[in-house]
């Protein structure tokens, strides 16, 4: 049966226009739904990428902690079979090396019995921990474990531990050492402050049971957060997840979360943000689309009411223009007609076209800005990673250089002196003495040799860390080292202070002393100077240390570049140390001119853990 339109012109116009308008609205709805899906997909991908970056940083931190813990334990040469003062001293050194990341250490023997702890607690010794799952696993041969959140052996305070098995040279497990991780340490909490999540977004580190180890919202730390049991199977299977997470409390907000499990522990990183805030942009796009659709429908209905035979031909032209707008062509203005009423309608559509064009431009601008921000964040993360690698490399190089220097000194002087002492003692043993005076006469050079060896060992100890730095302060330590080091080379040294001397934290004074020590060594080795001066100026809010010499000078850029190529980081090490305590190091030097190094250090300088 063939469908026939009514004979009236208005009816013939109204019916096709109604059908076309319905199709246009349906197109708007379809485009809106697709746009919403695309925006949501993009938001979820961004959260998942961010969670992956944070998880990688946490894995790196745990991996570095494990490696460093393993190195410290290996160097300590512990005997877990019994309690000893040597074990306690070694545990103290391991504890101090972590600078707050580990706040309690326990040592057990091969049966799981506690034989040492630090800070020392007498009541904890002899405790049987063999029933602990992680202790059993460590004793069975698993080298290193990061635990879930659970009470400590001495209290009910929730915490997490790193547990490391101790093996003898034959590979037999002789005990377990484990340290309690400080979940409030800045090294951990700083990782849970991801950027780009609006006002309410934050990160959390959860264990296998969904308990929060640390959070960007401190009040959520050590609480049960996985009311839906989502995280446990994801951690065990190693799968990632991104999507909505219904509120656990009645009346709470639903969240958009991204979850990525860790590789180094049975933990996972959760990036949370209220769903309404995370999808605010998508809702904005939806609102604007609805507004545009409503405006288009209203204007079209108005045209249908006012249309008559005089508008048919101009309407065809307008229809073509509207089809261009539907296809996305927004640059061509709508054509005008000779009819005032129709022109008024065209003006409305022209305003709508401009608004649509502005909205599209705004969306494109926001997308470009978002991509730029993601690129900047990615670059910053890469630079941070390179900085960490460079610092670790410098630390290793500095440690190896110091070990080589001590080995050379022990070999060149102490070892030879001990050999000579042994020869003299052997001579005394093999040569019979007739009288006590003969014995005394033979023992005099041996006594002198032993005294010389003792003096040499004391000198090496003072080079490692002069006691004068702790006893009398920074200025006296610099004065002692400068006159001792440069006086041997015939360099006249003047050391003086301006203002009232103020003591800084021990770690800051050590850093400043090491910078001054490196500068003094450079004068001794390279400057060929006859005079040097050191001034310590105590100002109101900072101290300024100036070290000058009248030597041959140098080019800082050339020296820095050569140091990077040869793995000698003298100037670079000084600059890094200054940065670690919030200070500023200025190097004023040129070939053939005197050199000057100026270090400015605030009194509240804080040694960075990074």
> What does the pLDDT look like over 473-504, one tens digit per residue?
888 888 888 888 888 888 899 999 998 888 88
Mean pLDDT for the stretch of residues 561-582: 70
pLDDT bucket at 355, cuts 50 / 70 / 90: confident
> What pLDDT shows up at residue 610?
37
Model confidence at 472, in pLDDT bands (50, 70, 90)?
Answer: confident
Rounded Cα–Cα distance for residues 45 and 256 (Å): 11
Whether 257 and 243 have beta carbons less than 8 Å apart is answered as: yes
Average pLDDT over residues 280-288: 71
Largest CA distance in the chain: 150
Mean pLDDT of 445-463: 72
- Of 56-60, 196-200, 359-363, 415-419, the least confident: 196-200
What is the percent of the chain where pLDDT is above 90? 12
Better pLDDT: 407 or 491: 491
pLDDT at residue 156 tops 60: no
pLDDT of the residue at 239: 93
DSSP state of 224: B
pLDDT value of position 114: 92
Q: What is the pLDDT of residue 113?
A: 93
What DSSP string runs through 396-416? HHHHHHHHHHHHHHIIIIIIH
What is the C-alpha separation between 121 and 91, in angstroms, rounded? 13
Give the residue-averaged pLDDT of 15-23: 73
CA dihedral 588, 590, 595, 600 (to 10 degrees): 10
User: For residue range 229-280, what is the model confidence (pLDDT) as tens digits?
Assistant: 888 899 989 999 998 888 877 777 788 889 999 998 889 999 888 888 877 7
The confidence score (pLDDT) of residue 600 equals 93
Which residues are bridge partners to 177 per DSSP?
A: 107, 164
Q: Identify which has the larger pLDDT, 565 or 518.
A: 518
Average pLDDT for 152-175:
78
Q: Which helix (H) or strand (E) holds 173?
A: strand 173-181
Query: How high is the pLDDT of residue 535?
Result: 94
**With 60 as the cut, is the pLDDT of residue 511 above it?**
yes
Poorest-pLDDT segment among 197-201, 446-450, 456-460, 542-546: 456-460
CA dist., res. 77 & res. 97, Å (int): 16
| Cα distance between residue 569 and residue 576, in whole Å | 10
* Mean pLDDT along residues 422-442: 72
Please give the pLDDT value at position 567.
Answer: 47
Q: 484 versus 396: which is more confidently predicted?
A: 484
Q: Are 511 and 566 in contact (CB under 8 A)?
A: no
Q: How confident is the model at residue 77 (pLDDT cuts 50, 70, 90)?
A: confident
Span 506-529, average pLDDT: 86
Across the chain, mean pLDDT equals: 79
Average pLDDT over residues 446-464: 71
Q: Which helix (H) or strand (E) holds 339?
A: none
d(CA 478, CA 183): 39
**pLDDT score recorded for residue 466:** 65
Q: Give per-residue pLDDT as tens, 27-46.
A: 777 777 777 788 788 888 88
* 608 has a pLDDT exceeding 50: no
The answer to whether residue 6 scores a pLDDT higher than 80 is no
User: Which pTM was predicted?
Assistant: 0.45
User: How confident is the model at residue 193, as a pLDDT?
Assistant: 74
Cβ burial, residue 293 (10 Å; 0-12/13-18/19+): middle
pLDDT of 365 above 70: yes
Helix extents (H) in 488-542: 506-522
Q: What pLDDT is recorded for position 268?
A: 92
């Amino acid at each position: 049966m063939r469908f026939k339109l009514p004979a009236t012109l208005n009816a013939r116009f109204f019916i096709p226009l109604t059908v076309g308008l319905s199709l246009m609205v349906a197109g708007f709805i379809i485009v809106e739904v697709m746009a919403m899906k695309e925006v949501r997909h993009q938001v979820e991908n961004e959260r998942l990428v961010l969670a992956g970056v944070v998880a990688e940083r946490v894995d790196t931190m745990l991996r570095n902690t494990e490696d460093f813990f393993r190195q410290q334990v290996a160097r300590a040469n512990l005997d877990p079979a019994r309690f000893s003062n040597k074990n306690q001293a070694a545990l103290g050194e391991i504890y101090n090396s972590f600078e707050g990341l580990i706040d309690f250490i326990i040592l057990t023997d091969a049966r799981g019995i506690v034989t040492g702890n630090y800070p020392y607690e007498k009541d904890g010794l002899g405790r049987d921990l063999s029933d602990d799952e992680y202790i059993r696993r460590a004793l069975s041969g698993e080298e290193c474990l990061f635990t879930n959140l659970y009470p400590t052996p001495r209290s009910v305070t929730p915490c997490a531990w790193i547990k490391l098995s101790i093996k003898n040279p034959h590979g037999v497990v002789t005990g377990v050492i484990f340290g309690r991780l400080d979940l409030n340490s800045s090294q951990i909490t700083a990782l849970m402050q991801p950027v780009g999540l609006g006002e309410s977004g934050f990160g959390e580190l959860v264990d296998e049971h969904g308990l929060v180890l640390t959070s960007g919202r401190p009040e959520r730390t050590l609480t049960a957060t996985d009311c839906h049991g989502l995280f446990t199977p994801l951690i065990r299977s190693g799968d990632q997840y991104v999507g909505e997470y219904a509120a656990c409390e009645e009346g709470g907000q639903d969240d958009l979360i991204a979850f990525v499990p860790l590789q180094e522990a049975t933990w996972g990183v959760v990036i949370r943000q209220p769903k309404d805030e995370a999808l605010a942009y998508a809702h904005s796009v939806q609102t604007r689309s609805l507004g545009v659709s409503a405006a288009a429908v209203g204007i079209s209905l108005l045209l249908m009411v006012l249309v008559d035979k005089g508008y048919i031909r101009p309407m065809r032209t307008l229809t073509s223009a509207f089809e261009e707008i539907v296809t996305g062509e927004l640059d061509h203005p709508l054509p005008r007609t000779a009819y005032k009423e129709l022109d008024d309608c065209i003006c409305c559509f022209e305003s709508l076209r401009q608004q649509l064009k502005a909205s599209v431009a705004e969306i494109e601008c926001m997308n470009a800005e978002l991509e730029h921000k993601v690129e900047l964040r990615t670059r910053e993360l890469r630079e941070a990673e390179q900085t960490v690698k460079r610092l670790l490399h410098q630390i290793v190089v500095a440690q190896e250089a110091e070990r080589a220097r001590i080995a050379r000194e022990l070999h060149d002087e102490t070892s030879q002196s001990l050999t000579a002492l042994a020869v003299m003692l052997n001579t005394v043993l093999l040569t019979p003495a007739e009288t006590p005076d003969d014995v005394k006469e033979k023992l005099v050079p041996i006594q002198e040799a032993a005294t010389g060896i003792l003096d040499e060992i004391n000198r090496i100890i003072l080079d490692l860390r002069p006691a004068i730095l702790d006893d009398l302060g920074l200025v006296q330590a610099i004065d002692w080292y400068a006159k001792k080091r440069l006086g041997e080379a015939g360099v006249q040294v003047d050391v003086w202070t301006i203002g009232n001397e103020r003591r800084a934290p021990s770690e800051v004074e050590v850093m400043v002393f090491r910078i001054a020590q490196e500068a003094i060594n450079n004068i001794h080795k390279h400057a060929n100077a006859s005079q040097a001066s050191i001034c310590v100026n105590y100002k109101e809010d900072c101290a300024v240390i100036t070290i000058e010499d009248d030597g041959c000078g140098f080019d800082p850029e050339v020296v820095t570049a050569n140091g990077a190529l040869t793995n000698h980081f003298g100037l670079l090490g000084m600059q890094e140390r200054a940065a670690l305590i919030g200070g500023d190091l200025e190097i004023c030097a040129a070939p053939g001119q005197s050199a000057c190094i100026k270090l400015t250090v605030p009194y509240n300088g804080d040694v960075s853990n990074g």
